[in-house]
Structure formats: structure tokens, C-alpha cells
Amino acid sequence: MSWERLLALEGGTVGSIACANDRAGTTFAATLAGVFRSRDGGERWEWTGNGLISPFVQDVAVSPDFERDGVVVAATAVSGLHMSFDRGESWFRREFWGIRPTVTRVAISPDFGRDQMIVAGTQREGVFVSRNRGQGWNGFVAGLEDAEISALAIAPGASDGGAVVAATDSGTLLRSTDACRSWERVEGLDADPIECLAWIGRETAVAGTVSGRVLRSTDGGGRWETVWRSEGDTVNGIAMSASGSGGRRVVAATGRGRLLQSSDGAMTWQEQPIAPKGEVSALCVGASKGRALIGTDRDGVYRLSGHSPPTPANAGLVNRPILDLAVSRSDAGDDTVVLGTLQDGVLVSRDGGSKWSTTLDDPGLGPITAVRLSPGFSRDGIAGGIAGGQVIWSADGARSWVRVGGLTDDSGANVLEFSPDFASDGDVAVGAQDGMLLQSHDHGDSWRSVWTGLDGSEVLALAYSPHFGQDRAMVAAAGDAQRLMVIRSTDAGETWMPWVEYDTSLGWASLAIPPSFKPDVGPVLLAARDRIAMPPSSGRGPWSGLRVAEGGVAIRQVTVSPAFGRDGLVAAATSDGVYLSNTQGHDWSRMDGPLAGRAVERVSITEAASDRRTLHAAVGSGELWRFSA
């Protein structure tokens, strides 16, 4: 058998676009699902994020000598700066003085082949510069400890007197004329934060601001004048390129969906809507060889070539992340699949993945981080989930949802799980921040708070014993900035006791309890960071930890087969594809095929017959795949 793709969510949020000057028209897009590359001027895209530790890419820059050196740089949230030397095929992380800050903006010198300069702006860690192709870095932090770098640009000739400018989200603009060795503050910008910057010559620069102004400087960034204004708008992207007729064109894009173009050095501008009804919100723009590519919030990329209106260009840009997956295991013949997404609400298929409908799409609720179906879903139609930290509930087969108010404070819920005997005991639990557990014993009609003694921790994972009706056992994992703790209860959540503790922050966790579980000894599978841990057979002492693979593969979720007692099958969703174990989690191998090397967010195992298993795998970027064997 082979993998079958059931769903690909194209489009999504594109925060940065960088166009190379090569003959193929290579373009890179920074997205919430990694980096995408186009090798035909933006008509078709392919994911190219192998080696990126964080999928949340905030900016991308391309070497001006890309056709020769293949250098691309990506700024990521949490995991720092990444570089590629092979046109985006593989990525390597770079550290600044041993730290890996959130990098918000990155710029490569127009003279990179000569000066080898890269500048990176961070969140609260200042500005860093490399003058040796990213091998070593020097930093400037003074006055930037509480600021986020919102824009960066390097002028031609920056290594011999040309300027580098860096803007912050608080409205500060810094300027350096000695290759970033020292910086001075530029006055007179009226505290209007700059969102984007571009140089159109050694002395001429253009900037876009939060209040909807286009600014122009002709003295290397020392003084600025307003050349275009739109009240209530935001200028989010500016780029410069050579036009098809040999001239130079500057393009800008706004939050209200307008594309601005100038052919006279940014003195005057012509504007047009990006979409016919102006319903898109532009976040960035890239330009090269007479074409412009506009990255938007939720709507992917629009492409403008020649004098034709901009048109969507999202083929292959699968960038609407899936955050959770639930597959009905109630009865044979029930083919319901439910997805929780970052930007598209709750998606439901009732025919195994052929047709999909959106049953909850309220941007005000936030991302759908958890979806769960009751064990008797095909009969009772009950489902629950977490939307922006709030509990949501459906009693009609996931066709409609209501918010369950008053359970947690300000987006505090993290996980939700149903008892395996939910039809008879009505038990469902929610894990939240501040170590809070909430339970309902009446099918979600009323809830009560359970004190766990984990003040300051977040409940990251919950699991009921498969024999909850008899042993009343539950297991939870909770963590804070310093530790991860597994706790257990043998009285249906009334009281809790510690089981194992790790003196490190692991960020996230997943729990799976096989049918052979016994409250005092396990087995329990705990996935956290790059390991799966299990208690010893005695139930006491340290848990053994096992990596599914070498090289720091992150494990996002672990799950066991419904027939675990017969097949010993365990599956792990990882940053390197789907890994399987047929030895109850002791030995692992990666599944070959299209998901190998991809960041898989969730995996599910269902039993279609006594000798058949079906795997569903949700790729974080926005794909759902199925494998039957």
C-alpha cells in the first residue's frame, strides 16, 4: 500500500517574499509552515523546509549572487536564523553568541559577493551582523532590549560608507554608516513605526509605516519625507526591481489590499486593488524582472505580470496549517474525519476525506488547537475542542459548535479528552494553564475545577485509562519553564500524585496509554521534545527515554493501535515524518514515501478489520494523508 493525499489546503499567510535575479525567476516565500520555493516566477510552489527547526518563518532573503552561490537566509520564531547554501534544499541553524533568539527580519548586502554581510533583527535581543557569510556574528543591543526589529535594509556600498537602517515596532529608526559597528537614532519620524524598508540606490531609500505613509529619503536615511499617504491603512511591503523595459520600478502593498507602483524613484505612485473587491490584506511584496508577487494574510500569493491585474498564484503553496486530527472509531461505516486548523476553523469530512465542509470559521475564536470525538460519536454526535484557549462543544455530529463559557480565564485551556466510557459515565476532562484540570460527569452540562497542586504549570497532555470504568485511572503531563511532570489519579481525578519529574522545560507533551495499562505500573508512553519515555515495569524509578531517530527529531504526538495487545503498533508524528514501532515502542523506523522528512503534526491509527490498520497523518503545513495496510 502507499500513502494517499486526501486534502491539501493551499494559500494561507505569507509574511515575506524574496525574489532572486536568476534566469529561472526563483522566489522564496516565508510562511507559517516553513519556506516555499517557486522556480518559475511564482506560478507554482514547492515546500523546501528540510532542516528548519521552527516552521514559523518570519522573513527570508536571497543573495544577489544566488545563481552562483545559492545562498538563502530565513528568520524563524524561537529557533533563530537558518541558512541554505544549496538554493533552499537544506537548511542549517546559526547561533548568535550561543543563543537562538526569535529572528524577525533579515537582510543580505547587495554587495554580498564582496563584503559577505548579513544583518539579522531580533525580538528583544537587538541587531546582529555577520561579515563572513554567517559564520560569526556581532551584536548591538543597547536600547533595543524591549523592542522588536520590524524592518531592515542594507544600501549598496554598505561596507564603505553606505547606510544600514533598522526600524523597531516602537517607532525607533536606527542608522549605521560603518557596516553596523555603531548606530545612531534617526529623529523626526513622529513615532510612526516603520513596517518595511527598501533601498533603490546608494542614497535613496523608501519606507512604509503603520499609519499608511510611504516615506522617501535621498540622503542615505538621515531625513525622510512623506510621498504617499492613506489614512487608516498600513504599508506592509516595499520592493524594488528592474522592469522589463530596462528601468527601475518600486512596488508597495498595503493592509487594505492596495498595490502601489512607482517608476520615477518613488516620487509619485499609481495604485490599484490587489483583488477585484479589495478583500485581501497584503503583508509583503517581492519584485523582479517586471513582475510583482504579493504575500497576504490568509489568501496566499497574488502575482502581477505586465499590465494584467494581479491573480492568485497558490498552486503547491500548501500553507494553511493543521493543528489537530480526530478520526471516528465508533463503528464500522462511520467515516468522519475532523481537523482543527490555525486559520480555517474546524473542517469535517463524513466520507473519509473526499469532501470537506467548514463547520466553525470564526476568526475571533482563534486557532483550533484540539478536536476530539466521543467514543460513541456515530450514535451521540458529541465532539469537543479548544479554540483560542476556550472550550467548544458540538452535539450534532460536528455540524455546529458552541463556546462553553466560564471554564477558564482568558484563553487558558490546552487539552480536552473523553472517557472511554463516556456514553455511560459522561466523563470529560479539560487541562488548562496554572495546573488546572476541569471535569464534567454529566456529558459536558456542568463542570468543576480539580486542584492538582501544579500551580504555575500548564497541563500539556491528558489520558484516560482504557479501563477507566474499573480502575478510575487518569494520567496527565504538565510543565513550566523549568520542569515537566507526569501525574496520575486512581480516583477519577479527585486526587493526584506525582509519577515522574524532569528538570527541564520540554515545551509540549503527548501521552498514549495502551490497553495493557495498569494504574501502578503502566505502560504509558510519554512523547516530549525528541524522546518517548516509559515507566519501568515495576512502576517505580526513572523512566527510560528513547529517541525514535538520531539528529534531534522532534516528536509532536504518539498514539497506539486499538489492537496494541496483538500488534504492538505505535505511531509517532515527528518533524521528520511518521515513525512506526511494532515492538510496543522499543524499536522505531521511519515510514518511506511522501511524508519522509516532512513535519507531521498528528497521526491516528484506526482498525478497519482484525487484520487491517488505517493511518491518518496531518502534515503541519496543511495536508492530510491516509495509509491502509
pLDDT at 452: 67
411 band by pLDDT with thresholds 50, 70 and 90: low
Paired with 57 in beta bridges are: 76
How far apart CA 463 and CA 559 sit, in angstroms, is 11
DSSP assignment string, 141-198:
-TT-TT-BEEEEEE-TTGGGT--EEEEETTS-EEEESSTTSS-EEPP-STT--EEEEE
Q: What is the average pLDDT score of the chain? A: 91
Task: State residue 408's pLDDT score.
Answer: 63
* pLDDT higher than 90, residue 400: yes
Does residue 549 carry a pLDDT above 60? yes
Antiparallel, parallel or unpaired: β 46-47 and 57-62:
unpaired
> What does pTM read for this prediction?
0.90
Weakest-pLDDT range from 99-108, 387-396, 463-472, 478-487: 478-487
The contacts of residue 288 (CB under 8 Å, 6+ apart) are: 19, 20, 21, 25, 27, 41, 241, 242
Contacts of 150 (CB under 8 A, 6+ apart): 104, 105, 121, 167, 168, 169, 193, 194, 195
- Residue ranges making up the domain that contains 259: 196-210+226-317
Which of 61-70, 76-85, 239-248, 531-540 has the least mean pLDDT?
239-248
- What value does the mean pLDDT take over residues 448-459? 80
Burial class for 191, CB neighbours closer than 10 Å (0-12, 13-18, 19+): exposed
Strand-pair partners of 108:
118
Does residue 307 have a pLDDT over 80? no
Cα 198 to its chain centre, rounded Å, is 27
CA distance 16 to 290: 19
d(CA 174, CA 164): 8
Q: What is the spatial distance between Cα 208 and Cα 224, in angstroms, rounded to a whole number?
A: 11
Mean pLDDT of 185-192: 85
Q: How far is CA 192 from CA 15, 207, 211, 627, in A?
A: 21, 11, 7, 53
What is the Cα–Cα distance from 412 to 405, expressed in whole angstroms?
A: 12
68, three cell numbers: 552562483
pLDDT at 330 over 70: no
Backbone angles phi, psi at 365, to 5 degrees: -80, -25
Stretch 469-477: mean pLDDT, rounded?
96
Q: What is the pLDDT of residues 412-449, one digit of tens each?
A: 899 999 999 999 999 999 998 888 899 999 999 999 88
pLDDT at residue 550, as a whole number: 83
pLDDT at 282: 96
Cα(56)–Cα(54) distance, integer angstroms:
5
The set of residues, in sequence order, having a beta carbon less than 8 Å from that of 68 and lying 6+ positions away, is 113
Q: Which of 293, 317, 341 is the last residue of a domain?
A: 317
Amino acid at 64: P
Q: Is residue 396 part of a domain?
A: no
Q: Positive or negative, the Cα torsion across 93, 575, 462, 500?
A: negative
| 465 inside domain | no
Phi, psi of 485 (to 5 degrees): -130, 140
Residue-level pLDDT at 244:
47
pLDDT at 610: 64
Round to whole Å and give the CA distance between 407 and 428: 13
Q: What is the DSSP string of 108-149?
A: E-TTHHHH--EEEEEBSS-EEEESSTTSS-EEE-TT-TT-BE
Answer whether residue 455 shows pLDDT above 80. Answer: no
Q: What's the CA gap between 515 and 510, in Å, rounded?
A: 17
Asked whether the beta carbons of 450 and 432 are under 8 A apart, the reply is: no
pLDDT at 246 over 60: no
User: What's the CA gap between 450 and 325, in Å, rounded?
Assistant: 27
Tell me if 124 sits within 8 A of 99, measured CB to CB.
no
- Using pLDDT thresholds of 50, 70 and 90, give the confidence band for residue 209: very high
CA distance 29 to 505: 31
Q: Which amino acid is at 398?
A: A
Q: Are the CB atoms for 477 and 496 separated by under 8 Å? A: no
Of the candidates 528, 519, 523, 522, the one whose C-alpha atom is nearest the C-alpha of residue 501 is: 528
Residues facing residue 613 across a β-bridge: 607
Convert the pLDDT of each residue in 12-61 to its tens digit. 999 999 999 999 999 999 999 999 999 999 999 999 988 888 889 999 99
pLDDT at residue 544 in the model: 86
pLDDT band at 302 (very low <50, low <70, confident <90, very high): very high
User: Considering the domain boundaries, does residue 250 fall inside one?
Assistant: yes
Query: Residues 377-405: what's their mean pLDDT?
Result: 93
Q: Indicate the residue among 317, 336, 371 that finishes a domain.
A: 317
Q: Is the pLDDT of residue 387 over 90?
A: yes
- Which three cell numbers mark 456? 504555575
The angle at the Cα of 433, spanning 429 to 435, to the nearest 5 degrees, equals 75
**Percent over 70 (pLDDT), the chain:** 96
- Under the banding of pLDDT at 50, 70 and 90, the label for residue 538 is confident
Residue 160 sits at φ, ψ, to 5 deg, of: -135, 50
Residue type, 444: G
Q: For the segment 113-161, what is each residue's pLDDT rounded down to a tens digit?
A: 999 999 999 998 999 999 999 999 999 988 787 789 999 999 999 989 9
Mean pLDDT within 484-494: 93
Return the number of other C-beta atoms located less than 10 Å from residue 238's C-beta: 30
Which of the two residues, 343 and 97, has the higher pLDDT score? 343
- The pLDDT, as a whole number, for residue 243 is 53
Q: What is the mean pLDDT of residues 534-541?
A: 84
Q: Is residue 236 part of a domain?
A: yes
Give pLDDT, residue 133. Answer: 96
Burial 318-356 (b: 16+ CB within 10 A, else e): bbbbbbbbbbbbbeeebebbbbbbbbbbbbbbbebbeeb
Answer whether residue 480 shows pLDDT above 90. no
**Among 579, 621, 608, CA closest to 596:** 579
Q: What is the DSSP letter of 275?
A: S
Domain stops at, among 286, 317, 348: 317
pLDDT of residue 184: 92
pLDDT at 513: 97
User: What's the whole-number mean pLDDT along residues 583-601?
Assistant: 93
Distances (CA, A) of 382 to 333, 374, 388: 17, 6, 20
**Torsion-angle region of 566 (φ positive above 0: left; ψ -120 to 50: alpha; else: beta):** alpha
Number of domains in the chain: 2
Asked if residue 619 has pLDDT above 70, the reply is: yes
- Determine how many CB atoms are found less than 10 A away from the CB of residue 508: 18
Q: What are phi and psi of 327, to 5 degrees?
A: -120, 130
Of 371-375, 506-510, 548-552, where does the model show the most confidence? 371-375
Residue 373 lies in a domain: no
Question: Considering the domain boundaries, does residue 293 fall inside one?
Answer: yes
Q: By C-alpha distance, which of 558, 561, 531 is closest to 547?
A: 531
Q: Find the angle CA(246)-CA(244)-CA(164) to the nearest 5 degrees.
A: 65
- Considering the domain boundaries, does residue 135 fall inside one? no
CB 426 within 8 A of CB 442: yes
pLDDT at position 597, please? 86
Domain contains 346 = no
